[in-house]
Amino acid sequence: MNRRSVVFGLGALGLSACAAAPVATTPNGVRIYMIDPADEGAIQFRVLDGVNALRQSAGLRPVQLNARLNAAAATHSRDMSLQNRPWHFGSDGSSPLDRGRRVGYEGRIVGEAISETFETELQTLTAWVSQTDTRAVIMDTKATDLGFAWFQEPNGKIWWTMVLGQSA
């Protein structure tokens, strides 16, 4: 993928983030993105659109949301919060492959991107695309399916998980 594709893709993400995000401010003035549970579908589709804009700019086929991968991502986001650390292993030692199997995903897990932050989903996606390892997952030519979910703690911290898979 060339530099122009990345710049174009990140620009597309920026434009899609123009909708006002619900923000809370802590007593010391820190702005925190607060997620309304009613916005779950809209958030997932914003990420899907952002990922597909990036993939299209690189000449790759689009991915589609997969309910089973969404479930695997949601489980892992909550588990990372309980462990209080962003990493790819569940508290029971499970891997992204294990979590995909547990939810009945019949395809092959291509990769997973995770984050612990107070930022929006599109800021998080932009950060992932800026890193070589997570960009490689998002831009994997074999990917056909995407799962995306999060868990937000009462203090506003968000644990994001994106799982990409290849249909069986």
Provide the residue ranges of all domains of the chain, joining segments of one domain with +. 40-166
What does the pLDDT look like over 49-93, one tens digit per residue?
Answer: 999 999 999 999 999 999 999 999 999 999 999 988 787 878 788
- HSE of 148 in the Cβ direction (CA atoms, 13 Å)? 22
- HSE of 20 in the Cβ direction (CA atoms, 13 Å)? 3
* The pLDDT of residue 9 is above 70: no
* The pLDDT of residue 20 is above 70: no
Q: What is the pLDDT of residue 91?
A: 78
Query: What DSSP character marks residue 140?
Result: -
Q: What is the pLDDT of residue 7?
A: 45
SS3 85: coil
| Residue closest to 116 by CA, chosen among 75, 164, 148, 157 | 157
Q: Average pLDDT of 103-119? A: 95
Taking residue 92's Cβ as centre, other Cβ atoms within 10 Å add up to 8
Which residue in this structure is represented by tokens 């802590």?
Answer: 26
| Residue closest to 85 by CA, chosen among 94, 95, 77, 97 | 77
Query: What DSSP character marks residue 21?
Result: P
In 32-116, where does DSSP find H-type helix? 40-57, 67-83, 96-102
Tokens matching residue 156: 């506003």
Which residues are paired to 65 by β-bridges?
146
Residue with the bigger pLDDT between 30 and 136: it is 136
Fold of 40-166: Pathogenesis-related Protein p14a (3.40.33)
| Residue closest to 111 by CA, chosen among 80, 65, 151, 73 | 73
